[in-house]
Chains A and B, each alone.
Chain A
Amino acid sequence: MNNSPLLQCNDVRKVFPKPDGAELLVLEGMNLELREGQIVGLLGRSGSGKSTLLRLIAGLSEPSAGHLRYLGKPISGPAPGIAMVFQSFALFPWLTVFENVALGLEAQRMPRADIRKRSLAAIDLIGLDGFESAYPRELSGGMRQRVGFARALVVHPNILLMDEPFSALDVLTAETLRTDFLDLWAEGRMPIKGVILVTHNIEEAVLMCDRILVFGSNPGRILSEIKVSLPQPRNRLDPSFRELVERIYVEMTTRPQSGTSARQERFPGLGIGSQLPHISSNLLAGLMEAVAAAPFNGKADLPEIASDLQMEIDELFPVAETLQLLRFAELEGGDLKLTEDGLAFAHAALDERKRIFLRHLLTYVPLAAHIRRVLDERASHSARKSRFIDELEDFMSEEAAEQSLRAIVSWGRYAEAFAYDDENAMFSLENPT
């Protein structure tokens, strides 16, 4: 095996400019190496910058600092030896399967006969034989993503980039596609030397990758690197497989040591300027009920409850973290444990629930307390939304401020802490008549 790495990232950093001139840091201190014969997984939640890193590697955008090298040469623009498979397939609906696959070769201005030969070979390899003249709209999701794979493989890339390629598919289809891909990879029938897979599905990462880089958010950075040395094909029920999954859950829910990062994780040490996730009270109540009920009885192992509720980490973590933020649960060591009030909430009737929720909302969410205080102090008992948006924008982007306020509005309405009139963008203490 060749010793020089296919791909190297050194101290890569990416900032996006904000409209007000400030900068938003999305990636920091990225170091990554891809060697021949490896599948490297980038695992993290949405907003952890893993897709941004993938686009840097694909040459679709440029790093603000640091170096990216492909085969030792700096990456500037899309490199011929790097191809990408997209989450939503990104097929051209007006081209047939054959034309979609051939497009990358047309762009290379290859002789027509070679284009035909190679496109048909790629189509055969990926199991699309017979679908050459079909349009993407005639295909199921799984078949469409196969076209996505064929289109990427036909240019004979050294590196295949995959951006959550299975997340838009149903569970069964995704599993078939994964297995087919791993078979082809193991048999060495694909013209690729290395793979980078972006995913937010922990089991998928453990199933497919040789190395997993776990990403943290705000800003996006690598929390840890996990080597997977289980032999292929891997079995999800294998105890060592489960153990790895469990370990990654723990990794992803451990609060960082204070001082490791200048910025803080989303919730601990919350001030008015923390960004709030928009999680409906139904989801919060639902998760509390599920954890309170048997077999968990107040304390649930995250991988277990995730598979129990059919939720991916991208869906489960924000809910769990919001429970933690509201002090209804604690998140530690891969477990979700309800607090006393959390348990009380789960067992209470609607009115009692609202009382508990109101107490926690006003005690533990400074923004809610702030809004309530402003409304109480004013003679009119009403305040414009823009007033709070302006305050929040000192701490976060306009978009994040809007999202935080949407969260506060929905929680405030549930707790009956205050009312909100969307038409006039006004907060008030009145109840609608």
Chain B
Amino acid sequence: MDRFAPYVFLRGLASRWDVLAFIVVIGLIVFLGETSRGLFAPLSQLNLTPLSLDPIHLPEYAARTTFRMLAGLFLSLVFTLTYATWAAKSERAGKLLVPILDILQSVPILGFISVTVVFFMSLAPGRVLGAEFAAIFAIFTSQAWNMAFSFYQSLRTIPLELMEAAESFRLSPWMRFWQLEVPFGMPALIWNMMMSMSGGWFFVVASESISVGHTTVTLPGVGSYIALAIEQKNLHAIGWAIATMLIVILLYDQLLFRPLVAWVDRFRVEQEPGVRVPDSWALTMMRRSRLIQGATVAFHAAVMFTSRAVKRTDKPIEAAAPKRSLDLLWVSLIVAAVVLGLWHIVWVLIKNTPLQEALNVCGLAALTMLRVFILIALASLVWVPIGVWVGMRPRAAQIVQPVAQFMAAFPANLLFPIAVYGIVVWKLNPDIFLSPLMILGTQWYILFNVIAGASAIPAEMRYAAANFRVSGWLWWRKVALPAVLPFYVTGAITASGGSWNAAIVAELASWGDTQVRARGLGSYIADATIAGDFHRIVLGIGTMSLFVVIINRLFWRPLYYYAERKYRLT
């Protein structure tokens, strides 16, 4: 608002923030141009310029991987703003859309890739674009569902008075969406975006080198670089790739998420004073630079302009009572679709699957489940005490918390070759020693949730415990563990879900031409994918989804509500 800073144009031609911003913006443009150049090249191009393990190519590969990540993130955002809005606004649609989202969340993400890669390849036949679509879709599936969920939740919990204010000042629905609903949902949305980052990196790396049956696609990127390094047993190259990824994630964090988190702070509705405002140099740069200010002003103007263009139709806030007959029609439509779908699935699966096979798959799923639970328990034994210890010390928490979040974002599959190398060299039992890989990337959720929980213990409660000389095991039993339980459960749920996902990659790993295999549902799906056996892929993925849904409903969800009700400190 120029009224409040009237002499802005007199203050020098450009601030140093402008210079910095200029470099960043031009860099981004060059980056986009470079990475998208190859998109429309024919697929054969990939074979003409084979991947090279020379580290000099790594910046380019990293850029391509990052570009896929950004594209996936963008698609997830578009999906979130439409799907979740639809589900929240229409009672009828929501009845179906919300459960669908819930199921989609439980489907292993690599499953999506193996099933859809052929479809995407056919979208742009003979072009690299199709394979890129498949890879980007994988990232999309690792982020979209929980982002959509969070936005849906936000839309349902907008304070009534804010809705009434928007209504009584006669905002059009379009304006209300951009001025009230999107800003309100923003903090939770950004947080979820960050949380699903880890999944995103994991799968962008995994999806760059896909082979389903006879279709083998290798897109230039860090993931395929690693794949090649494994094939050629090149430990040096793997080291380079890991270093590259560390840098990429660091940049991503500094340039994208930190500014977002700092920026989104103003959208929080609960306005408690004294909470430290997150801080980001990149955001400071963006705010101080007129170049970028101009861009945000343009965006704001676009929102305003479209707000003016879309007219308001007068309608009271209360929805008219839904018509019974329409409801009935809707429900019967859903039932019909479910029956049809079920029949189809049963038909396809039963026809092609002997009972023996089905039992076998269930047994394998039980094995994987056992692994996940044991690993979660082991990780908890390690990280809960450490998390509590760190959380009680604000100074330590400030250092450890970002490190843990960073570790969670690092695609653990990059480290698999090292583990496999070790197993091969020392001839270890893969059934046991491949398992830790499943939790390598997801254990951090337990740690940083417990840290958050422990630092949220009110000081007075700790003083009271100290005052009554509660210490040792009694202190853990009566003070620390109950206080962090709700946080721990949240972390454990995320870790468990991630571990199921990782099983597909972790239970079947290779080093050169040596394959190391652990018996379980993950290796079953991986085998089926390599063989291109569509029915076994579907059977495996279906079983895994079913297991995850059932475990969530019967174990994690009740535990979560119990912990929330009994142990949440408010």
Contact = CB atoms under 8 A, between A and B. Distances in A.
Given A93-B266, A106-B307, A58 B168 contact: yes
Contacts of B161: 86-88, 90
Contact of A59 (B1, B3, B175, B316): B316
Interface in B295-322: 304, 307-308, 312, 314-318, 321
A78 B168 contact: yes
B180 A78 contact: no
Q: Which of B186, B266, B273, B318 is the most central at the interface, judged by chain A CB atoms within 10 Å of its CB?
A: B266
Interface stretch (A39-47, A130-138, A268-276, A379-387): A130-138
Contact of A107 (B171, B183, B266): B171
Interface in B1-50: 1, 3-4
A108 B171 CA distance: 8
A60 B164 contact: yes
B169 A92 contact: no
B165 A108 contact: no
Contacts of A133: 1, 4
Interface in A41-59: 55, 58-59
A59 B271 contact: no
A77 B167 CA distance: 9
Interface string B134-162: 00000000000000000000000001011
A88 B316 CA distance: 22
A90 B267 CA distance: 14
Contacts of B162: 90, 92
B170 A108 contact: yes
Contact of A109 (B308, B314, B315): B308
Per DSSP, are chain A's interface residues mostly helix, strand or loop, or mixed? loop
Given A86-B161, A90-B162, A77 B315 contact: yes
A106 B164 contact: no
Interface in B530-544: none
Nearest to A80: B170
B318 A61 contact: yes
Interface string A58-102: 111110000000000000111010111011101111111010000
Contacts of B164: 55, 58, 60, 84, 86, 90
A240 to B, nearest CB: 36
Nearest to B315: A77
Given A60-B316, A132-B4, A107 B175 contact: yes
A136 B267 CA distance: 11
A132 B3 contact: yes
A61 B317 CA distance: 6
Contact of A93 (B171, B268, B308, B314): B268
A98 B170 contact: no
A429 interface: no
Given A87-B161, A92-B179, A59 B269 contact: no
B172 interface: yes
Contacts of A77: 314-316
A155 interface: yes
Nearest to B268: A93
Nearest to A83: B168
B243 to A, nearest CB: 39
A151 interface: yes
Contacts of A231: none
A93 B374 CA distance: 45
Contacts of B179: 92, 95, 103
Given A60-B316, A61-B318, A77-B316, A106 B175 contact: yes
Given A76-B314, A92-B179, A107 B169 contact: yes
Nearest to A78: B168
Given A62-B318, A86-B164, A103 B169 contact: yes
Interface string A140-153: 00000000000100
A92 B4 contact: no
Interface residues of A, number: 40
B308 to A, nearest CB: 5
A55 B163 CA distance: 12
B547 to A, nearest CB: 30
Contacts of B307: 106-107
Contacts of B308: 106, 109
Nearest to A17: B321
A342 interface: no
A188 to B, nearest CB: 24
A151 B169 contact: yes
Given A78-B168, A132-B3, A61 B267 contact: no
B485 to A, nearest CB: 16
Contacts of B183: 92, 94
A419 B4 CA distance: 64
A303 interface: no
B168 A135 contact: no
Contact of A104 (B3, B170, B267, B268): B170
A107 B172 contact: yes
B271 A136 contact: yes
A78 B167 contact: yes
Q: Which of B268, B273, B316, B318 is the most central at the interface, judged by chain A CB atoms within 10 Å of its CB?
A: B316
Contact of A61 (B1, B159, B316): B316
A76 B162 CA distance: 20
B471 to A, nearest CB: 27
A135 B266 contact: yes
Contacts of A137: 266, 271, 273
A60 B161 CA distance: 11
Contacts of B180: 92
A77 B312 CA distance: 11
A82 B168 contact: yes
B271 to A, nearest CB: 4
A51 to B, nearest CB: 11
A77 B165 CA distance: 13
A11 to B, nearest CB: 19
A84 B3 CA distance: 28
Nearest to B161: A90
B310 to A, nearest CB: 10
A86 B165 CA distance: 8
Contact of A94 (B165, B171, B266, B317): B266
Nearest to A89: B161
Nearest to A84: B168
Interface string B314-343: 111110010000000000000000000000
A339 to B, nearest CB: 39
A132 B318 contact: no
Nearest to B4: A133
Contacts of B304: 106
Interface string A95-124: 110100001101111000000100010000
A55 B164 CA distance: 9
A83 B186 CA distance: 28
A237 B170 CA distance: 42
A135 B312 CA distance: 27
Nearest to B313: A77
B279 to A, nearest CB: 16
Nearest to A100: B165
A151 B162 CA distance: 13
Nearest to A139: B271
Nearest to B182: A94
Nearest to B186: A94
B7 to A, nearest CB: 15
Nearest to A58: B168
A80 B314 CA distance: 11
- The 8 A-B pairs at the shortest CB distance, nearest first, are namely A104-B169, A90-B161, A90-B165, A77-B314, A137-B271, A94-B183, A94-B267, A109-B308
22 contacts: A60-B168, A60-B317, A77-B315, A77-B316, A78-B167, A78-B314, A82-B168, A88-B159, A90-B164, A91-B165, A93-B267, A94-B186, A94-B266, A95-B179, A103-B169, A106-B304, A107-B169, A107-B172, A108-B170, A120-B3, A132-B1, A133-B1
Given A61-B318, A103-B169, A133-B1, 10 more contacts: A60-B164, A60-B167, A61-B317, A80-B170, A86-B161, A92-B179, A98-B1, A108-B170, A132-B3, A155-B169
